[in-house]
Amino acid sequence: MHLFIKCSCFFFLLFSANAQSTIDQALDWYNSESVPYISVSELQNEKNQIILDTREWEEYEVSHIKNAVWVGYDDFKLADVITKYPDKNLNIVVYCSIGVRSENIGEELLESGYFNTKNLYGGIFEWSNQGYPVYTAKGEKTKKVHAFGKLWGKYLTKAEKVY
């Protein structure tokens, strides 16, 4: 019975991810907006924020937003953030591929008192789609962005997709 439920949930998620044709529609479907959004253009104009990349290490290595600090998703440790950034008044922006995983990490940060936490709307995909640069783990500009998977990669339109 558990296997049937797991398979049913997987196929529902697979179908619903395919049914979403834009980042806007996907975020409307998957997110609750529990973490306030910041747009790509707003982030570009902000100067005093900590940017946290909530994707997996393999994604971060391919490319990330300049000066973003990798915190991961599956391996995310709130204690590490608290140790590194004890000032809970800091402006923090979290991002992932489009903003779904980062909303979950943002919720943890908000619950722990980081009340100036925002989620980058559209994530690194929207950042790249709008023509902003991304950087490799060695700090070099690149056109490559990890597309997370074929289902999500359709939202990345202006970068070289890496899987």
What is the architecture, at CATH level 2, of domain 22-162?
A: 3-Layer(aba) Sandwich (3.40)
Helix axes 23-30, 100-111, angle to 10 degrees: 40
Distance CA 67, CA 25 (A): 29
pLDDT in tens, the chain (163 residues): 433 433 444 444 444 444 458 999 999 999 999 999 999 999 999 889 999 999 999 999 999 999 999 999 999 999 999 999 999 999 999 999 999 999 999 999 999 999 999 999 999 999 999 999 999 999 999 999 999 999 999 999 999 999 9
pTM (two decimals)? 0.87
Distance CA 138, CA 92 (A): 23
Report residue 19 as tokens: 């049914």
The DSSP code sequence of 98-113 is SSHHHHHHHHHHHHTT
Give domain limits for the chain.
22-162
